[in-house]
Amino acid sequence: MRAAYVGYVAVPIEAMTIKTRMGMKAEIAPDWSDTPTILDGAIVIGAGAAGLAAAQALIRAGVTVQILEREARLAEPWHRRHDNLHLNTHRDLSSLPGLSYPAGTPAFPHRSTVIGHLNDFAETHRLPIAFGVAVEGVEFHGDHWLVRSSAGPRAARHVVVATGRDRQPFIPAWKGMRDFSGRILHSADFGRASDYAGKKVLVVGAGNSGFDVLNHLAAGTETGQIWLAARNGPALLPKRIGKIAVHRLSPFMASLPTWMADAAMAATQRLVFGDLRKYGLPPAPSGGASRLGSDYTAIAADDGAVDAIKAGRIAVVPQISAFRRDGVILANGRAIAPDVVIAATGYRTGLEPMLGGLGVLDAKGVPLFNGADSDPNLPGLWFTGMRPSIRGCFANAGILGAAIAGKIAGRKR
């Protein structure tokens, strides 16, 4: 009878399920017939910041790596983002390990500079990326992992899932939204502020993307009425205080216990902006650092939106209750009539089709494990970049990549 190694104990396999560390059921696939040569190393799925950093750390640790990227070029998510997008995170803390941005890069790099940086990193380290290979499924075969892809199956001892936490734009199913005669779009398709000249715009969501949109709309003078529908108050920090880029404090913030980081952020927010509840923003459900881990809400950055709220150019309103043909009914019963609704309502990982059978995702599709933390009953499955962090995605990519490489290299010894 065939055997599979579950937690390094040989067990018979016949369409078997096991219990994961979190008590969920994981399938072990019984079919060995199309198993290709097993790579004694790691397949990294996704060549974004997280995947590239993990691959480079693995190679440095002596682990053989293949990177599978579904797009035809690097940094496709950054290519697709709106023209005016600059990082909220500081240049010096937004680079991949060992590579700086070119001299003269502004404090908050434009997305095109980020694209250049990711390409430079991949070239510098000659990272082995197979482009145009979309992974469709990942199966546990006991002592290895089978990766089903658009280019056929591949197998390896380890799989590092780095497909991004903002892979699929998410818009809630609002009552009546199909009947709305205006336009509903996701913040991922924002375009340019000038596209909204003369338009009445409702932005839904006071998180990172919501404030990014509001910062841009507030900077343009041509937008008509702007509303912000907020269910929760934001964890909001200014991009700068005087000449200091606030993100520079992130390594210090990350070193604090969560309750202390919550308190430091709340105090900074209050000191800089005053009491935003006066302008209709609801209180935040919990502290900014806590929410990174509890509901995966990233910290929002203000770059002009708060001044526009205080000046009355952006009106804060309650959350949406329902759509009707000519507008939106709010939770307080009031009706407003926007031309465009921008849903800054977040993203999903979209990992269910790939990993659904393994019992490693929570109700929102976010992996239960990230970085060096993994399920001992599913040895060789790793995740990186699946949670927001105080430091931002680039610094986090380096830290998690090194941690995963340390674990994998340690197991090989």
Ligand X SMILES: Cc1cc2nc3c(=O)[nH]c(=O)nc-3n(C[C@H](O)[C@H](O)[C@H](O)COP(=O)(O)OP(=O)(O)OC[C@H]3O[C@@H](n4cnc5c(N)ncnc54)[C@H](O)[C@@H]3O)c2cc1C
Cα R_g (the chain), whole angstroms:
23
Q: Does 4 bind ligand X (CB under 6 A)?
A: no
Question: Distance from CA of residue 222 to its chain's centroid?
Answer: 31
Alpha helices in 162-257 (DSSP H): 208-219, 250-255
Instruction: Give me the 34-73 binding string for ligand X, x by CB under 6 A, dash otherwise.
Output: -----------xxxxxxx----------------xxxx--
E-strand spans in 284-386?
Answer: 300-302, 314-317, 320-324, 327-330, 335-336, 340-343, 347-348, 381-383
* CB-nearer residue toward ligand X: 145 or 394: 394
* CB-nearer residue toward ligand X: 135 or 403: 135
- CA–CA distance, 117 with 99 (Å, rounded to integer): 8
Query: Stretches 13-21, 80-88, 363-371, 403-411: which one binds ligand X (CB under 6 A)?
Result: 80-88
CB count, 10 Å around CB of 56?
Answer: 27
Tokens representing 401 are 């990549």
- Contacting residue, 97, 182, 392, 401, with ligand X by CB under 6 A: 392
- CA–CA distance, 18 with 307 (Å, rounded to integer): 55
Question: Distance from CA of residue 352 to its chain's centroid?
Answer: 16
* CB-nearer residue toward ligand X: 113 or 377: 113
Q: Does 207 bind ligand X (CB under 6 A)?
A: no
* CB-nearer residue toward ligand X: 17 or 255: 255
Query: Stretches 21-29, 140-148, 164-172, 307-315: which one binds ligand X (CB under 6 A)?
Result: 164-172
Q: Does 393 bind ligand X (CB under 6 A)?
A: yes
What is the DSSP annotation of 386-410?
-S--TT-HHHHHHHHHHHHHHHHHH
* CB-nearer residue toward ligand X: 223 or 384: 384
* CB-nearer residue toward ligand X: 251 or 410: 251
- CA–CA distance, 158 with 27 (Å, rounded to integer): 17
Q: Which class for 25: exposed (0-12), middle (13-18), buried (19 or more C-beta within 10 A)?
A: exposed
C-beta separation of 61 from 413 below 8 A: no
Alpha helices in 274-332 (DSSP H): 288-294, 305-310
Site for ligand X in 128-147 (CB under 6 A): 134-135
Instruction: Give me the 104-123 binding string for ligand X, x by CB under 6 A, dash otherwise.
Output: --------------------
- Contacting residue, 89, 232, 297, 377, with ligand X by CB under 6 A: 89
Query: Stretches 159-167, 175-183, 228-236, 318-326: which one binds ligand X (CB under 6 A)?
Result: 159-167
With CB under 6 A, what is the number of residues at the site for ligand X?
Answer: 33
Residue 19: CB minimum distance to ligand X, A: 27
Q: Which residues bind ligand X (CB under 6 A)?
A: 45-51, 68-71, 76-77, 81, 85, 87-89, 94, 134-135, 162-167, 209, 212, 385, 392-394
